[in-house]
Amino acid sequence: MTASSRKIFKVIAMIFLLLVICLLFTISFLSLENSRNTPLNDSDLTFERPQIPVESNAFYTLLKATNEIYWPEKLSKRLGDLSRNTNWDDSLAADALEKNQACLSFFDEAMQQLFLLVPEIKGQEDDISYLGGWKQLCNVEFIRIFSLHRAKKDKEAFDRTFEILKFGQRIENSGGPVMHYLIGSGIKSGGLWSIQQMLADTTLSETDLALAIHELSNFGPNQEGLTNVLKVEYKMECTFLDNYAQGKIPDTTNSAAEQALISIGMKPFLNVRKTKMELVQVDRFYLSNLSEPFAKVPWSNLPNQDIETNDSTLDRLASGNAMGVFFFEMLGYSLDSLARKKDVENIKVTATQLLLALKIYKIRHGKLPDSLSDLVPEFFPAVPLDDFDGKPFRYLPEKKMIYSVGPCLKDLGGKEREDYSKDYNLPFKIEF
């Protein structure tokens, strides 16, 4: 073979090699594009918003209530003390209730309406400031509750408190994202705390106390609310990813041309479908374990819990979904934190029921029982379980305390939280 022939052969071989490389690249690109465009089976995470007539939706009545709140800045601390039943001032409480008559009237009207559905939240930039107004509205209601209690009108005070609990649960179920569940849960916690506060010197009869135990069963594990919250949150995250992939970056105004360029530039770094699938897997894992005590949830099996978070920058870029990993970390709310919040709420409901039963027992026997088993079967079919470890609720009669092991899952004898310690229980003192 002549030198000229060898050169021609090398050129042909080089061209052939380049063609093979281009072919492989094309196949890989088409495969990647196909994976990006294949429909995602996420129908089980679709939240179907109910169609509710305006006149039946308490949302709009609650807006009227919050617009009528009297809570001047100069009196904010003193009014806040009243809502927490501290530094009580009869004159200030009476004045606050007088000036909040319209607010409380609208709140009462809202609680008579059948539904509470918030406007659809499509993104992080949507206005949910009404949640702050609802918290303030509850503070006004707590002043009314403690005023009734101090006036020895405990039946009315307890009835008002159950309206607070109902309001909190309605917020959890209102069709909003996670923040709505957290605010609703906080409002319910305030209502349960107020019941515990009033138990020390309540004038309620044994019959009314027993009815309260039964009624609290309606505010236990709210699986429907959590399920819907996760579905709403998932849709928001999908919308965010779709918009970003199209160059619609939040908080900026891009022309159509700029959006197109950003979208093209995103192709090698953002696989929307893969990122959505990772969110789907995590949400399905959580929903399938909603009814399990915290300690029995196999958190080590949580899908994608370490998703590429330890990879180098080059590894992430080579994965074809570097931005997807970043968005997953940013959007993927901590489900174990949400699970702890859910279990703390359930613990507070159970503890309040136990305190009510202990109050009845003491009224009858003049002393506290030696064991929570003494409350079975009259008040409970069995000693209520701790939502964190699935074991019976703890009781220390000598310390006048019941408690849950809490998120640390260690029995520390009812130890309260100190500073930022992670090792603490959830104690509830028996103040009677």
pLDDT digits (tens, 9 = 90+) for 36-58: 556 788 999 999 999 999 999 99
Reference 209, options 387, 378, 404, 393; nearest CA is 378
Q: Is residue 386 part of a domain?
A: no
Question: Sorting pLDDT into bands at 50, 70 and 90, what band is 18?
Answer: low
Domain C-terminal end among 320, 337, 354: 337
Contacts of 242 (CB under 8 A, 6+ apart): 272
Write out the two tokens for 316.
Answer: 């992430």
In tens, the pLDDT along 402-425 reads 999 999 999 999 999 998 888 999
Do residues 163 and 278 share a domain? no
**pLDDT value at residue 24:** 43
**Helix (H/G/I), strand (E/B), else coil: 392:** strand
Do residues 65 and 200 share a domain? yes
Give the Cα separation of 352 and 220 in Å (integer).
11
Q: What is the mean pLDDT of residues 59-85?
A: 98
Q: Is residue 362 part of a domain?
A: no
CA angle 364, 200, 344 (to 5 degrees): 105
- Identify the weakest region by mean pLDDT among 27-41, 46-60, 107-121: 27-41
**pLDDT value at residue 40:** 84
Q: Is residue 410 part of a domain?
A: no
Do residues 9 and 126 share a domain? no
Check pLDDT > 90 for residue 381. yes
Alpha carbons within 13 A on the beta-carbon side of 9 = 6
Burial 363-374 (b: 16+ CB within 10 A, else e): eeeeebeeebeb
**pLDDT value at residue 31:** 43
Q: Is residue 214 part of a domain?
A: no
Backbone angles phi, psi at 400, to 5 degrees: 50, 65
Do residues 183 and 294 share a domain? no
Q: What is the DSSP string of 95-151?
A: HHHHHTHHHHHHHHHHHHSSB--PPPP-STTS--THHHHHHHHHHHHHHHHHHHHHT
User: What percentage of the chain exceeds 70 in pLDDT?
Assistant: 83
Peptide bond into 397 cis (omega under 30): no
Do residues 271 and 136 share a domain? no
Do residues 34 and 62 share a domain? no
Q: What is the mean pLDDT of residues 366-382?
A: 97
In tens, the pLDDT along 138-197 reads 999 999 999 999 999 999 999 999 999 999 999 999 999 999 999 999 999 999 999 999
End-to-end CA distance of the chain: 107
**pLDDT value at residue 263:** 63
Domain count, the chain: 3
Can you name the residues that pair with 395 across neighbouring β-strands?
402
Do residues 80 and 198 share a domain? yes
Q: Indicate the average pLDDT of the chain.
A: 88
Give the Cα separation of 296 and 31 in Å (integer).
40
- The distance of Cα 407 from the centroid of its chain, to the nearest Å, equals 16
Domain C-terminal end among 204, 221, 249: 204
Do residues 189 and 243 share a domain? no
Check pLDDT > 90 for residue 396. yes
Q: Is residue 350 part of a domain?
A: no
Do residues 192 and 321 share a domain? no
What pTM value is reported for the model? 0.85
Check pLDDT > 60 for residue 261. no
Longest dimension (CA), the chain: 115
Q: What is the mean pLDDT of residues 364-379?
A: 97
Write out the two tokens for 161.
Answer: 């408190």
**pLDDT value at residue 17:** 65
Residue range of the domain that includes 170: 52-204
Give the Cα separation of 402 and 44 in Å (integer).
40
Q: What is the mean pLDDT of residues 383-406?
A: 97
Give the Cα separation of 23 and 6 in Å (integer).
25
Q: Is residue 429 part of a domain?
A: no
Adjacency order of strands within the sheet including 401-404 = 394-396, 401-404, 426-429
- The answer to whether the CB of 354 falls within 8 A of the CB of 194 is no
Domain C-terminal end among 293, 321, 337: 337
Length of the chain: 432
Q: What is the mean pLDDT of residues 217-228?
A: 92
Do residues 73 and 176 share a domain? yes
Do residues 135 and 197 share a domain? yes
User: What percentage of the chain exceeds 90 in pLDDT?
Assistant: 69
Do residues 241 and 324 share a domain? yes
In tens, the pLDDT along 306-326 reads 544 455 555 555 566 888 888
Bigger pLDDT: 103 or 304? 103
Give the Cα separation of 208 and 318 in Å (integer).
66
Alpha carbons within 13 A on the beta-carbon side of 216 = 30
Q: Is residue 266 part of a domain?
A: yes
Q: Is residue 359 part of a domain?
A: no
